[in-house]
Copies of this chain bind each other. A is one copy, B any other.
């Protein structure tokens, strides 16, 4: 999936260098999988799943947050994070109390332990990533990160020249 760069389609070399390369998805998707797999040992070492880590990351310093808002923020379904929250709460990494104002909602907040786990995991991941990126030239590393941030910030990517209407 990550290698088949031998297509000489020079028919649309309009942008930049026009060098033959695999489809973006054919590189990005496997890279994402590899990165996730690479994070797994770190997460395991701290006893959290990827979803749990994402919850810890997003809870951050903002204690006032409904579960629905949290789920939306991490692109998850409301139903999907419940087991995660149950586990995190049972291990005192987060607190979950009913809102006095509206007792339907649960206010989520990070405990000290949760903050510690989050920081430890984040540091380990960041260190490993920097080690990875160190294999690139400074210019490429910079461009890669900037391009990545720019592209991943787009809410709706489309490859179509005109929107599909039916």
The residues of A with any CB-CB pair to B shorter than 8 Å are: 1-7, 9, 11-12, 14-17, 19, 21, 23-39, 41-42, 45, 54, 57-58, 60, 73-75, 119, 122-136, 138-154, 156-161, 164
In the bound complex, do residue A143 and residue B147 qualify as a contact, i.e. CB atoms below 8 Å apart? yes
Cα–Cα distance between A126 and B26 once the two chains are bound (Å): 12
Cα–Cα distance between A135 and B32 once the two chains are bound (Å): 22
In the bound complex, do residue A38 and residue B159 qualify as a contact, i.e. CB atoms below 8 Å apart? yes
Task: Choose one: B2, B7, B75; the contact of A122 (CB below 8 Å).
Answer: B7
In the bound complex, do residue A41 and residue B164 qualify as a contact, i.e. CB atoms below 8 Å apart? yes
Q: How many copies does the complex hold?
A: 2
Q: Which residues of B contact A145 (CB under 8 A)?
A: 19, 21, 147
Among A1, A19, A157, max chain B CB count under 10 A is at A157
Given the interface pairs A15-B133, A132-B151, A143-B143, the reply to whether A4 lies near B127 with Cβ below 8 Å is no
In the bound complex, do residue A159 and residue B128 qualify as a contact, i.e. CB atoms below 8 Å apart? yes
Given the interface pairs A135-B150, A157-B34, the reply to whether A125 lies near B23 with Cβ below 8 Å is yes
In the bound complex, do residue A140 and residue B146 qualify as a contact, i.e. CB atoms below 8 Å apart? yes
In the bound complex, do residue A6 and residue B54 qualify as a contact, i.e. CB atoms below 8 Å apart? no
Cα–Cα distance between A157 and B41 once the two chains are bound (Å): 12
In the bound complex, do residue A142 and residue B2 qualify as a contact, i.e. CB atoms below 8 Å apart? no
Closest partner residue, chain B, to A29 (CB atom): B32
